Amino acid sequence: MSKVLQIHIDGKLCDEADAKVSVFDHGLLYGDGVFEGIRFYRGRVFKLRAHIDRLFDSAKAIQLEVPLSHAKMTEAVMETIRANELQDGYVRLLVTRGVGSLGLNPFQCKQASVIIIASKIALYDEEKYQQGLTVVTCGTRRPAPAALSPSVKSLNYLNNIMAKIEAINAGAEEGVMLNEQGFVAECTGDNIFVVKEGKIYTPPVTAGGLNGITRRVVMELAEEKGFELLEQDLTRYELYTADEFFLSGTAAEVVPVASYDGRTIGNGQPGPITLRLMEFFRELTQTTGVPIYE
């Protein structure tokens, strides 16, 4: 049996069986809240500052007052991991609007709730990192930025879930989501990169994808290692005809794509640039981050 998880709710740690929220929490009633998914490796939290900063930016954008300072939030994440005695794993950090009345008005909610779960995650089987994922295009579009900014990592994931359902129904692991103009935005939980003739391409954030932290790490690594990287609007054509195709995300890390809408990518095996970036990324995750136990 696995150990009982200690969950942080509003400043207290409790057993997972006792970790409960009110049915009047607007996070549940309306998806009103924000979240982060954070990885830690070998007792160090990867890109912690970037995740905490993005959480506060998401909250600011939806006019949600986070009841903790940056420093206290950081410490709460650390405490939760320590309480579970984990070295490698995944943190799900949520700030919900809190308990309110029925009706949309968020300002009737007295105080936002902070929930921190530290656990394990394995998004894809190890063999997928060697063989590559099967990916399809989803009919579900990313919402226009004027509807809901893709930079807000909100508790409202129905759009992505609808797309994920399409991908799973089609027998694929992931789904490409397009924006209203038909340009590639991102996958349901990962950002997109392709390689063509030695150059790396990724859609700009304005195409409708999340401003992914792993995406930024990949971009920095590419630059540092001397690869040419361009942020450019991409269509399905550029994905179909790519030499290499890979995804980035906190949970997925860097993962190759082998097949897209039935088209084999390259020779069907992860390409050389993808493999090198996977290796560089792994090295970074294993050697950097904020120490949890010191």
User: Per residue in 14-44, is it b (16+ CB within 10 Å) or e — as a string?
Assistant: eeeeebebeeebbbbbbebbbbbbbbbbebb
Q: Does 175 bind ligand PXG (CB under 6 A)?
A: no
20 among known catalytic residues: no
| Helix residue ranges, H only, the chain | 26-30, 48-61, 70-83, 126-131, 158-169, 213-224, 236-240, 272-287
Binding mask 14-33 for ligand PXG (x = CB under 6 A): --------------------
Residue from 73, 135, 213, 273 touching ligand PXG (CB under 6 A): that is: 213
Q: Does 186 bind ligand PXG (CB under 6 A)?
A: yes
Q: Does 172 bind ligand PXG (CB under 6 A)?
A: no
Q: Judged by CB, which is closer to ligand PXG: 139, or 268?
A: 139
Residue from 61, 170, 229, 251 touching ligand PXG (CB under 6 A): that is: 251
Q: Does 210 bind ligand PXG (CB under 6 A)?
A: yes
Residue corresponding to tokens 């830690």? 40
Please name the residues in contact with 150: beta carbons below 8 A apart, sequence gap of 6 or more.
142, 143, 185, 186, 205, 208, 209, 210, 211
Choosing from 47, 128, 153, 164, which is the catalytic residue? 153
Residue from 10, 13, 31, 37 touching ligand PXG (CB under 6 A): that is: 37
Number of H helices, E strands in the chain: 8, 16
Given the rule CB under 6 A, which residues bind ligand PXG?
Answer: 37, 160, 186, 189-191, 209-210, 212-215, 248-251
